[in-house]
Chains A and B, each alone.
Chain A
Amino acid sequence: MFLKPLRSAALAVATVALLSTSALAAGTLRVGMTASDIPLTTGQTDQGGEGMRFMGYTVYDSLINWDLSSADKPSTLTPGLATEWSTDPEDRTKWTFKLREGVKFHDGSDFTADAVVWNLDKPLNDQSEQYDTRQAAQGASRIPSIASYKVVDPLTVEIVTKAPDATLPYQIAWIMFSSPANWEANGKDWEKVAANPSGTGPWKLTSFVPRERAELVPNTDYWDENRIPKLDKMVLIPLPEPNARSSALLSGQVDWIEAPAPDLVPALEGNGFEIVSNAYPHNWTYHFSRLEGSPWNDINVRKAANLAIDRAGLKQLLGGLMIEAKGFMPPSSQWFGNPEFDVKYDPDAAKEYLAKAGYGPDKPLTVKALISPSGSGQMLPLPMNEFIQQNLAEVGINVDFEVVEWNTMINIWRAGAADPSAQGAQSINFSYFIQDPFTGLIRHLSCDLIAPNGTNWGHYCDPEMEDLFKQIRNTFDPAEQDKVLQKTHEKYVNDALFLFVAHDVAPRAMSPKVKGFVQAQNWFQDFSTISIEE
């Protein structure tokens, strides 16, 4: 009932916007982010994936970047500040990185091998002058394999890992390189650098008001000519509240919002705004406890649950903004493989599996599940969980929810299923960033990483899986490594190791004026191709 006045309002808004934005240069993109603050600007960002998206891959580069140019295929790694990298066939722990020549930081200083070592000390070496707790908190855990590093010559760096680890390039892609000279110029004070940072990326930060806005302008000297931004300016505005975000878009105060609430999508579309979405490595799942006594130790129960979920119905609930899970990785992932177990909605088959496990209408199975009413990446946790609860009840699995606050949930997730804080729950509803082999597969099920030592919440430990993880780390040819990763994922699916439910599609809503955006299948995005048509 609001749509009709809205449409004419959109016209009015456009007129007002024309009148009142005359001061703005043509080609300014104003983005409403979901974060409640501007991500850390000094290099290694906070605010999760969104932080890297808007303040990491914009202002900075890594030695190895993600290739964000395609919407049709999963993103892969691509040369960034390093043009090539290789391991020593004699000693697989030794990596050599050849650096790109002639790259300059925004402050004009040169990017050299010294700068690389300096930037690795920044999060790793707490004895170094430039060590920054805040960047270390975000960066150190991303590069767990690195043992040491040194300058070979001005354009060559050697990195040594603790053990052979073919996933190092993926780890390196997290590390952002800030200018040592700029840090010196700002009195070696990261707090001052924050207001005046300098990276090598396609965008330069020109204005920064904490919690309010950040303004970026193109770095016209960027080393990759194809990625010099077309826009005159990009403004980032933190708008954590979904309604405020949508209102800002509807009233013409921003041109682009991240994650519009599914309920608002029809109103936005009805007013001529575009909804853009794509698959990306995100996963919404029930992580099973594999402790003794957990009913999820029985593969029949796990398969039954996976066949009981009406994912198409769930998709409808989310206004179409999800991908139905067929496994742990999204179906389009390069690591999906060809699993034999078909994850689909088949309640009859589910009942059969459940009967095999010894449960049935007379002997229903009751499980306890940890859920949280909110949380980053959790999509719409309450409605989705209630939906799943109904689905599972239909085949004979009764789910009792233990509802906890998101921060409590993180603590329980870190502590593991055996910790008293888990209150005996047999699953935890978590969403995962699964962009690289480690975060995507290894960390959830590796024996060495059983919580609280690592993030293997459910205490799963399987020699066959362990062997696959070892192969991933020791396969240095990327194509061969992908094959091992596929095999690993096939085992994930065939053994039904998780409750595979949904993948988010990173919806964003934007004004029709925004042209040229290609949404990569990645947590990060490239804003260089965008222009604003007045």
Chain B
Amino acid sequence: MSTTIDTKTVKANPRPAAEEAPAKSKGYWHGVGARLIRDPVSMICAGLLALLLGAVVFAPLLPLADPFTGSMVSRLKPIGTEGHILGTDELGRDMFARLIYGGRLTLMLGLLPVAFAFAIGTCLGVLAGYVGGWLNTAIMRTVDVFFAFPSILLAIAISGALGAGIVNSLVSLTIVFIPPITRVAESVTASVRSLEYVDAARISGAHPLTVVRVHVLGNVMSPIFVYATSLTSVSMILAAGLSFLGLGVKPPEPEWGLMLNTLRTAIYIDPVLAALPGAMIFLTSLCLNLLSDGLRSAMNIKD
């Protein structure tokens, strides 16, 4: 499980991106897009992820079995059973439907904490980097304290104390991802701030918010965004791990980590069936990682 957030390496090289252009022009994004399209691996991954995303978003519209009701008589049916294309789980519920509905929660727990942390961390980091002084010290030293915890440990500690539940998982994962994003944002902002033209804009009396919006955010967003993409797979695997431990989503809600847990005893009955949720986590995470790699090289950000 990739649970490491190695900001040190990200932090070490924010400049190439920042120095590239004062603000990203249309041409730049065209270039990124063109490079990405020429990368077959990224395109396949993006396609698979789009398919999955579509399926989970529109799940209620799809002709799926009810993921919550099953029959005890038809429990643990193998893959390919009539009416249950991917078999049934330990309560006789349709696996295919549960995997799709499970993807909703798993993906949500992958995306939302990172999105929240992205918003909060970027604000904190830009604030710290732009204003500097005591505010920088206050924010960054607090961040340092959270950094003193290995990320998975922090997530487990907070979830463990708060107890199981979707909201608690969201809270604990968001807290885990705020510090690294803040750090990246701060360091990129600080380096952008010291660039001559930003300095010039500040001295020329431009409104601080305008300076931040035009010059800082424009430069800061893309490295942070790429970094955040790579965190999504970390977040998803962590969330599934929490559910696996019984700290995340509560039954009977379908979630891949939890399904993996409850199907554990079925491993001696139908190992392939028991492995399905694990395979889903693996494939999704693999696609996210590959896509993030592709994005990174397309944007010419070094890792």
B72 nearest CB neighbor, chain A only:
A317
Q: Are A1 and B251 in contact (CB under 8 A)?
A: no
The answer to the question of B164 belonging to the interface, with a C-beta cut-off of 8 Å to chain A, is yes
The answer to the question of B163 belonging to the interface, with a C-beta cut-off of 8 Å to chain A, is yes
The answer to the question of B266 belonging to the interface, with a C-beta cut-off of 8 Å to chain A, is yes
Other-chain contact of A2, B91, B252, B271 (Cβ < 8 Å): B271
The answer to the question of A212 belonging to the interface, with a C-beta cut-off of 8 Å to chain B, is no
Q: Are B265 and A263 in contact (CB under 8 A)?
A: yes
CB distance from B260 to the nearest CB of A (A): 11
Q: Are B270 and A403 in contact (CB under 8 A)?
A: no
User: For residue B293, which residues in chain A have a CB less than 8 angstroms away from its CB?
Assistant: none
- Number of residues of chain B lying within 8 A (CB) of chain A: 19
Interface residues of A in 40-85 (CB under 8 A from B): none
CB-CB under 8 A for A243 and B72, given A1-B271, A405-B163, A405-B164: no
The answer to the question of B250 belonging to the interface, with a C-beta cut-off of 8 Å to chain A, is yes
User: For residue B252, which residues in chain A have a CB less than 8 angstroms away from its CB?
Assistant: 382, 386, 403
Report the separation of the CA atoms of residues A386 and B251 in the bound assembly, to the nearest whole angstrom: 12
CB distance from B198 to the nearest CB of A (A): 52
CB distance from B267 to the nearest CB of A (A): 7
Other-chain contact of B268, A2, A313, A373, A403 (Cβ < 8 Å): A2
User: For residue B76, which residues in chain A have a CB less than 8 angstroms away from its CB?
Assistant: 263
The answer to the question of A33 belonging to the interface, with a C-beta cut-off of 8 Å to chain B, is no
The answer to the question of A264 belonging to the interface, with a C-beta cut-off of 8 Å to chain B, is yes
User: For residue A374, which residues in chain B have a CB less than 8 angstroms away from its CB?
Assistant: 246
The answer to the question of B269 belonging to the interface, with a C-beta cut-off of 8 Å to chain A, is yes
Other-chain contact of A261, B75, B164, B251, B265 (Cβ < 8 Å): B265
User: For residue A373, which residues in chain B have a CB less than 8 angstroms away from its CB?
Assistant: 250-251
Q: Are B270 and A243 in contact (CB under 8 A)?
A: no
The answer to the question of B90 belonging to the interface, with a C-beta cut-off of 8 Å to chain A, is yes
User: For residue B11, which residues in chain A have a CB less than 8 angstroms away from its CB?
Assistant: none
User: For residue B246, which residues in chain A have a CB less than 8 angstroms away from its CB?
Assistant: 374
User: For residue B268, which residues in chain A have a CB less than 8 angstroms away from its CB?
Assistant: 2, 246, 263-264, 267
The answer to the question of B264 belonging to the interface, with a C-beta cut-off of 8 Å to chain A, is yes
**Interface residues of B: mostly helix, strand, loop or mixed?**
loop
User: For residue B267, which residues in chain A have a CB less than 8 angstroms away from its CB?
Assistant: 243
Report the separation of the CA atoms of residues A2 and B250 in the bound assembly, to the nearest whole angstrom: 30
Q: Are B265 and A387 in contact (CB under 8 A)?
A: no
User: For residue A266, which residues in chain B have a CB less than 8 angstroms away from its CB?
Assistant: 269
Q: Which of B246, B250, B268, B270 has the most CB of A within 10 A?
A: B268
Report the separation of the CA atoms of residues A203 and B91 in the bound assembly, to the nearest whole angstrom: 43
A261 nearest CB neighbor, chain B only:
B265
Contact with B along A241-268 (1 / 0, CB 8 A): 0110010000000000000010110110
User: For residue A2, which residues in chain B have a CB less than 8 angstroms away from its CB?
Assistant: 268, 271
The answer to the question of A361 belonging to the interface, with a C-beta cut-off of 8 Å to chain B, is no
The answer to the question of A383 belonging to the interface, with a C-beta cut-off of 8 Å to chain B, is yes
Q: Are B72 and A263 in contact (CB under 8 A)?
A: no
CB distance from A16 to the nearest CB of B (A): 20
User: For residue A261, which residues in chain B have a CB less than 8 angstroms away from its CB?
Assistant: 265
- Number of residues of chain A lying within 8 A (CB) of chain B: 21
A317 nearest CB neighbor, chain B only:
B72
Interface residues of A in 493-526 (CB under 8 A from B): none
CB distance from B178 to the nearest CB of A (A): 27
User: For residue A242, which residues in chain B have a CB less than 8 angstroms away from its CB?
Assistant: 264-265
Report the separation of the CA atoms of residues A403 and B72 in the bound assembly, to the nearest whole angstrom: 20
User: For residue A1, which residues in chain B have a CB less than 8 angstroms away from its CB?
Assistant: 270-271
Contact with A along B45-88 (1 / 0, CB 8 A): 00000000000000000000000000010011000000000000
CB distance from A354 to the nearest CB of B (A): 23
CB-CB under 8 A for A313 and B72, given A1-B270, A373-B250, A405-B163: yes
Q: Are B91 and A383 in contact (CB under 8 A)?
A: yes
CB-CB under 8 A for A382 and B251, given A1-B270, A2-B271, A263-B90: yes
CB-CB under 8 A for A387 and B72, given A382-B91, A382-B252: yes
B251 nearest CB neighbor, chain A only:
A373
Q: Are B72 and A383 in contact (CB under 8 A)?
A: yes
Report the separation of the CA atoms of residues A385 and B130 in the bound assembly, to the nearest whole angstrom: 57
Report the separation of the CA atoms of residues A468 and B270 in the bound assembly, to the nearest whole angstrom: 53
User: For residue B75, which residues in chain A have a CB less than 8 angstroms away from its CB?
Assistant: 317
User: For residue B250, which residues in chain A have a CB less than 8 angstroms away from its CB?
Assistant: 373, 403, 405
CB distance from A242 to the nearest CB of B (A): 6
Other-chain contact of B266, A263, A313, A382, A386 (Cβ < 8 Å): A263
B165 nearest CB neighbor, chain A only:
A405
Report the separation of the CA atoms of residues A383 and B269 in the bound assembly, to the nearest whole angstrom: 18
CB-CB under 8 A for A264 and B164, given A383-B72, A383-B91, A387-B72: no
User: For residue A246, which residues in chain B have a CB less than 8 angstroms away from its CB?
Assistant: 265, 268
Report the separation of the CA atoms of residues A387 and B246 in the bound assembly, to the nearest whole angstrom: 23
Other-chain contact of B269, A263, A313, A317 (Cβ < 8 Å): A263
CB distance from A412 to the nearest CB of B (A): 15
Report the separation of the CA atoms of residues A261 and B90 in the bound assembly, to the nearest whole angstrom: 12
Report the separation of the CA atoms of residues A261 and B262 in the bound assembly, to the nearest whole angstrom: 11
CB distance from A449 to the nearest CB of B (A): 30
User: For residue A243, which residues in chain B have a CB less than 8 angstroms away from its CB?
Assistant: 264-265, 267
CB-CB under 8 A for A264 and B271, given A373-B250, A403-B250: no
CB distance from A409 to the nearest CB of B (A): 13
Report the separation of the CA atoms of residues A127 and B15 in the bound assembly, to the nearest whole angstrom: 71
What residues of chain A have their CB less than 8 Å away from a CB belonging to chain B? 1-2, 242-243, 246, 261, 263-264, 266-267, 313, 316-317, 373-374, 382-383, 386-387, 403, 405
Going nearest first, the 6 A-B pairs with the smallest beta carbon separation are A267-B268, A261-B265, A263-B265, A243-B264, A317-B72, A373-B251
26 contacts between A and B (CB under 8 A): A1-B270, A2-B268, A243-B265, A243-B267, A246-B265, A246-B268, A263-B76, A263-B90, A263-B266, A264-B265, A266-B269, A267-B268, A267-B269, A313-B72, A317-B72, A317-B75, A373-B250, A373-B251, A374-B246, A382-B252, A383-B72, A386-B91, A386-B252, A403-B250, A405-B163, A405-B164
18 further A-B contacts with Cβ under 8 Å, apart from A246-B265, A317-B75, A386-B91, are A1-B270, A2-B268, A2-B271, A242-B264, A261-B265, A263-B265, A263-B266, A263-B269, A266-B269, A267-B269, A317-B72, A373-B251, A374-B246, A382-B252, A403-B251, A403-B252, A405-B164, A405-B250
What residues of chain B have their CB less than 8 Å away from a CB belonging to chain A? 72, 75-76, 90-91, 163-164, 246, 250-252, 264-271
